[in-house]
Amino acid sequence: MKLLDDIHHKLTALERQHLRRQIRTLDTPCSPHIRIGERELLAFCSNDYLGLANHPALVEAMAEGARTYGVGSGAAHLVSGHSRAHALLEEQLAAMLSPWIPQARALFFCTGYMANLAVTPALVEAGDTASKTSGRAIFADALNHASLIDATRLARDADVIEYAHADVAALGAALAGSAAGHKLIVTDAVFSMDGDIAPLPALAQLAEQHDAWLVVDDAHGFGVLGEHGCGALEHFKLRSEHIVYTGTLGKAAGAAGAFVVAHASVIEWLLQRARTYLFTTASPPAVAHTVSRSLALIAGSEGQQRRAALQDNIEHFKSRLQTQQWRLLPSSTAIQPLLIGSNGAALAAASALDRAGLWVPAIRPPTVPSGTARLRIALSAAHTHHDIDTLCDALAGAEQETQ
């Protein structure tokens, strides 16, 4: 009983601080226009940036994958769960990233969270024998995603040095001051709650200069950034064999799963050591089959059109919002956060939008630092200008209501 009392107190405290989260159940597929029970809502909350999550060709690919491979993999990849669909997808991902990562090989994971949990601990462990005397250090951006933070927690025996968000000078000083023999820089490529893009060319340069490796989590850039949707590395035309690149497939790619692309030897090491790869059932081959189709769309003319439509929507939104008082964070990506500050005010703004038939999530700590609660507006190629105008009109109304 004591534990239940403690839980009850903690839940009440969360409620008081406007931090209690609630789950909503959708009755329609992921799309800008959704229904929850009887309520129709215009949604700006998914990471389906290209509008592929309910694309007819991908729905068909999932059905075809299930007919071909069944619905379950039956085992972990290294036992018997690795199907031809997984292998083909990994080849496709490696080919896509090979202009940016020499000797690229790919490893498919069930989720981005699991991919990130795999990479940092395995890379830290790999540095063990080479640098036993001089130690290992991880240099992490202060606004990294929870999965990267948890990965550093799992990387035993490494010093973790957090540098100020996107602060190249601070990172340079931290690297210069470190005596560690094995160094890893770990960063989001597109920051999930701010929408800004990490200064990857400068980070890669520092990595070369200080003999460090650079782990890049491109969950929100893969599919969206770069002419062919290859992500942040293509966006910056950045090529390095010291980059370990993770991407997720449940966001712009519209399906599920994630991957790591790196030098073939790094991937071979992950295959031996990554616990979130070794000790979990492989995701259904039908998912890999679907993602393969999605990657073909992303790399082709349809992907290009969708990226152009998304860009157009981003520009339309930003220009419409210029006349309002909201504090829009400086983001050029599909993630357009409005900084509010207090948890209560962010919730009040989200509720005002909800009453107007819009779903825009209020993001609060611990997802963002305390005092920086915000509305996270996520735009998609599937939104129309009319959808965005509706949002901006509702934001103008909410502004008056909440200020």
255 binds ligand PLP (CB under 6 A): no
Interior/surface letters 221-242, b for 16+ CB within 10 angstroms, e for the rest: bbbbbbebbbbbbbbbebebeb
192 binds ligand PLP (CB under 6 A): yes
Which one of residues 111, 240, 283, 380 is an interface residue with ligand PLP (CB under 6 A)?
111
What DSSP character marks residue 361? P
Phi, psi (deg, nearest 5) at residue 81: -90, 0
What DSSP character marks residue 283? P
Outline where DSSP puts E strands in 255-401: 258-263, 327-328, 335-341, 358-359, 362-363, 373-378
113 binds ligand PLP (CB under 6 A): yes
Question: Which residue number, 101 or 115, has a Cβ lying nearer to ligand PLP?
Answer: 115
Contact range with ligand PLP by CB under 6 A, out of 212-220, 223-231, 272-280, 296-304: 212-220
Question: Which residue number, 136 or 220, has a Cβ lying nearer to ligand PLP?
Answer: 220
Question: Which residue number, 147 or 178, has a Cβ lying nearer to ligand PLP?
Answer: 147
* Cis peptide preceding 366, ω within 30 of 0: yes
Contact range with ligand PLP by CB under 6 A, out of 8-16, 110-118, 272-280, 301-309: 110-118
The string of DSSP letters for 211-237 reads: TEEEEEE-TTTTTTSSTTS--HHHHHT
Site for ligand PLP in 160-189 (CB under 6 A): 188
120 binds ligand PLP (CB under 6 A): no
Q: What is the total count of residues that contact ligand PLP (CB under 6 A)?
A: 14
217 binds ligand PLP (CB under 6 A): yes
Closest CA to 312 of 369, 366, 388: 388
Question: Bridge partners of 34?
Answer: 41
In contact, 353 and 360? CB cutoff 8 Å: yes
8 is catalytic: no
Closest CA to 162 of 151, 174, 154: 174
In contact, 394 and 358? CB cutoff 8 Å: yes
Sheet architecture: strand order including 358-359: 33-36, 39-43, 358-359
Closest CA to 152 of 191, 104, 106, 185: 185
- Shortest reach from residue 111's CB to ligand PLP, in Å: 3
Contact range with ligand PLP by CB under 6 A, out of 174-182, 217-225, 308-316, 386-394: 217-225
285 binds ligand PLP (CB under 6 A): no
| Residue tagged active-site, from 82, 220, 289, 316 | 220
Question: Which residue number, 93 or 394, has a Cβ lying nearer to ligand PLP?
Answer: 93
145 binds ligand PLP (CB under 6 A): yes
183 is catalytic: no
245 binds ligand PLP (CB under 6 A): no
112 binds ligand PLP (CB under 6 A): yes
| Residue tagged active-site, from 55, 82, 251, 383 | 251
In contact, 115 and 77? CB cutoff 8 Å: no
Question: Which residue number, 217 or 234, has a Cβ lying nearer to ligand PLP?
Answer: 217
H helix intervals, 274-321: 275-278, 285-299, 301-321
Which one of residues 34, 161, 198, 219 is an interface residue with ligand PLP (CB under 6 A)?
219
250 binds ligand PLP (CB under 6 A): yes
| Residue tagged active-site, from 46, 73, 147, 192 | 192
318 is catalytic: no
Q: Which residues are catalytic?
A: 192, 220, 251
Contacts with ligand PLP, residue ranges (CB under 6 A): 111-113, 116, 145, 147, 188, 192, 217, 219-220, 248, 250, 258
